[in-house]
């Protein structure tokens, strides 16, 4: 299960996580075309190897394992998802499809409880 970057990255976007990621799966990097226009960075959900190296270097505690994403970001993700789908490329859309899947599973399990 991939790690995800949540709302605190917005306004910080210092790329400390990019520098430590061993598989270069956090985008956009400073040398990528959409770095200036994106408000935060995103982790590619299938390229991430779940090493956790990015978590301690984030100055604003924005990075979480998907299963540990705080509930308070759940209401934030639909807004991010709309923005991502309207302006982002495939790697960013993929991250939000992963979140969609998690939310679908939570809803399905809630209905069974």
Residues that bind ligand SF4 (CB under 6 A): 3, 5, 9, 12-17, 20-21, 23, 25-26, 41, 43, 48-54, 57-58, 60, 62-63
CA distance 65 to 61: 12
Residue 49 or 106: the one with the smaller Cβ distance to ligand SF4 is: 49
The smaller minimum CB distance to ligand SF4, of residues 59 and 112, is found at 59
Is the previous residue joined to 28 through a cis bond, with omega within 30 degrees of 0? Answer: yes
- How many residues are present in the chain? 113
Q: 30: helix, coil or strand? A: coil
CB of 48 to ligand SF4, least distance (A): 3
CB closer to ligand SF4, 14 vs 68? 14
Q: How far is the CB of 68 from ligand SF4 (least distance, A)?
A: 12
* Residue with smaller CB distance to ligand SF4, 57 or 83: 57
């Amino acid at each position: 299960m991939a790690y995800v970057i949540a709302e605190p990255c917005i306004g910080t976007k210092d790329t400390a996580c990019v520098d430590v990621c061993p598989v270069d799966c956090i985008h956009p990097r400073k040398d990528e075309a959409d770095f200036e226009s994106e408000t935060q960075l995103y982790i590619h959900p299938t390229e991430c190897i779940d090493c956790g190296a990015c978590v301690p270097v984030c100055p604003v505690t924005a990075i979480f394992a998907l299963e540990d994403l705080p509930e308070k970001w759940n209401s934030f993700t639909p807004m991010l998802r709309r923005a991502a789908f309207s302006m982002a490329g495939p790697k960013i859309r993929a991250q939000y499809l992963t979140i969609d899947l998690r939310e679908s599973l939570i809803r399905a399990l809630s209905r069974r409880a």
